[in-house]
Chain A
Amino acid sequence: MIATLADVVTSLLLLASVGFVLLACVGLYRFDDVFSRIHAATKATTLGVILVAAATALALRDPGDTAKLAIAAVLQMISAPVTAHVIGRAAYWSGGELSPETVVDQLADRAPGREG
């Protein structure tokens, strides 16, 4: 079976996508405070979802499916920063621990009620 150009591009996009998702999960597992984990988990998974949506749209080539995938990609682009903000703010103001390697905490003097 001869691989067409569309198959090759689809495969490359798929492999790049799952590579980014794997990097996100490795960062989620290895980093040592919640804020760096947010950093790892939201950005890389957004790129992964966008790439896999492009690959699937290229493989299926159906207008309805492409619309659904575009909605999923846009939804991820909108929801990932909101999720990161909500989780990060909640973790900070309720006393989440900062990594010992943290360089600057610009909210430190405005957080008298912070437990940590």
Chain B
Amino acid sequence: MIEIVTAVCFVVLAVSALLSVGRIVGGHSVADRALALDALLIVVVVGVAVGAVRTGSGIYLDVLLVVALVAFIGTTAVGRFIERRGVR
């Protein structure tokens, strides 16, 4: 049962990642793209956790923490750059 549910979760996460990439490619401003990259990294975080449930092993949870931190720091840094240089 867990195998089927996690497979469904991976498919849904793939669709979410595609929508985020669509916003990154077609985004109107740097702020949109930074936000979409943040959402894409959150999709990665959730995907790592779903993978941990599927394999029953927690060895990749450190990766989850690091990706969450990188998403926060990266998006905040890009926000500061936008403030200095303009949204386009």
Contact = CB atoms under 8 A, between A and B. Distances in A.
Given A45-B42, A48-B46, A68 B19 contact: no
A91 B28 CA distance: 11
B53 A60 contact: yes
B65 to A, nearest CB: 6
Interface residues of B, number: 53
Given A53-B49, A82-B72, A96 B87 contact: yes
A53 B1 CA distance: 19
SS of A interface (majority): helix
Interface residues of A, number: 54
Contact of A95 (B12, B36, B64, B87): B87
Nearest to A78: B72
B43 A25 contact: yes
9 contacts: A14-B53, A22-B19, A24-B42, A29-B19, A29-B22, A49-B46, A75-B65, A79-B72, A87-B34
